[in-house]
Amino acid sequence: MKKILNLYKEIGETPLERLNRFRVENKKYKNEKMSYVGRLDPMAEGILLVVIGEENKNRTKYLNLKKEYEFEILFGFETDTFDLLGMVKKIFDKNINLNEKIIKNVIKNFKGKLIQKYPPYSSKTVRGKPLFEFSRDGRINEVEIPEKEIEIYKLNLINLKKISKKRFLRYIQKNIYKIKGDFRQKDILKIWENKLKKIKKTDFFMAKMNIKCSSGTYIRGIANEIGKILGCGAIAFSIKRIKVGKYLIKNSIK
């Protein structure tokens, strides 16, 4: 029996759902103590490391491993979660002029050690409650959002392209309902549908990037900050974790 598993978490699954799916599919692990090390958001996919049995004592070692992601940033929008699974706060409906040179100049600011605030919708605990509870109750302004030091070793632009409004909406409709539980899915989808119908634009800029970073880095937080610097808003459209320490996505158990 393995001490650590490299599982592939699909879009729509929570880490716990992925862990439980593995137990169902692999009966010999049914009664073993298992825990995942390092969360992935419901809309994210990729590597989820799971420690088994006595290896749970070494969780910190795995939690601190460096991470690598491929992710896409959609420009022109802001949401309360910094990704697609959030309520739309602002839409920049005016023409946005972006090119690779502009984006490369901006992401130069995201190298080395940085201070990053936790997203308002995150599991970081403040006053005994996760931040997302304050956000959902409309009380996020009552608490000081904590911050932490992260390190970005590499952040590269892979390409810049456009996505049509039609394809964008299909992607949201397809993936939001993969998520179980109460994540405000119905309200969020309704808002996206209504907002997009009113937008005159037919397509939007989207950048694909690769990042190598320290543990605990919020990729959707990076997307949000890039949008702020550019002045046009940005959210994480997709996030895929492709490497954790020595563990590669090509070896993940699907």
What is the C-alpha separation between 187 and 83, in angstroms, rounded? 15
pLDDT of residue 1: 80
Amino acid type, 129: K
Domains of the chain: 4-65 (no CATH), 67-119+150-244 (3.30.2350.10)
E-assigned strand segments in 143-202: 147-164
Mean pLDDT of all residues in 162-167? 96
Question: Who contacts 248 (Cβ-Cβ below 8 Å, separation ≥6)?
Answer: 6, 47, 242
pLDDT of residue 96: 87
Name the band, by pLDDT with cuts 50, 70 and 90, for residue 250: very high
pLDDT of residue 105: 97
Identify whether the C-beta of residue 50 lies closer than 8 Å to the C-beta of residue 5: yes
Burial 201-236 (b: 16+ CB within 10 A, else e): beebbbbbbebbbbbbbbbbbbbbbbbeebebbbbb
**107: nearest Cα among 84, 82, 73:** 73
User: Quick check: 235 pLDDT over 90?
Assistant: yes
Distance set, CA 15 to CA 10, 61, 74, 179, 250 (Å): 9, 19, 25, 12, 19
pLDDT in tens, 178-211: 999 999 999 999 999 999 999 989 999 999 999 9
What is the C-alpha separation between 84 and 247, in angstroms, rounded? 27
Identify whether the C-beta of residue 78 lies closer than 8 Å to the C-beta of residue 90: yes
Mean pLDDT for all residues in the chain: 96
Distance set, CA 51 to CA 38, 119, 143 (Å): 11, 27, 34
pLDDT in tens, 100-147: 999 999 999 999 999 999 999 999 999 999 999 999 999 999 999 999
| N-to-C CA span, the chain | 18
Helices 100-107/219-230 angle, 10° precision: 120
Mean pLDDT of all residues in 214-236? 97
What is the C-alpha separation between 188 and 56, in angstroms, rounded? 37
Identify whether the C-beta of residue 208 lies closer than 8 Å to the C-beta of residue 215: no
Sequence-ordered alpha helix ranges (H) in 26-117? 59-63, 100-107
**pTM of the full predicted structure?**
0.96
Torsion sign across C-alpha atoms 164, 225, 42, 40: positive
pLDDT in tens, 43-88: 999 999 999 999 999 999 999 999 999 999 999 999 999 999 999 9
pLDDT of residue 231: 95
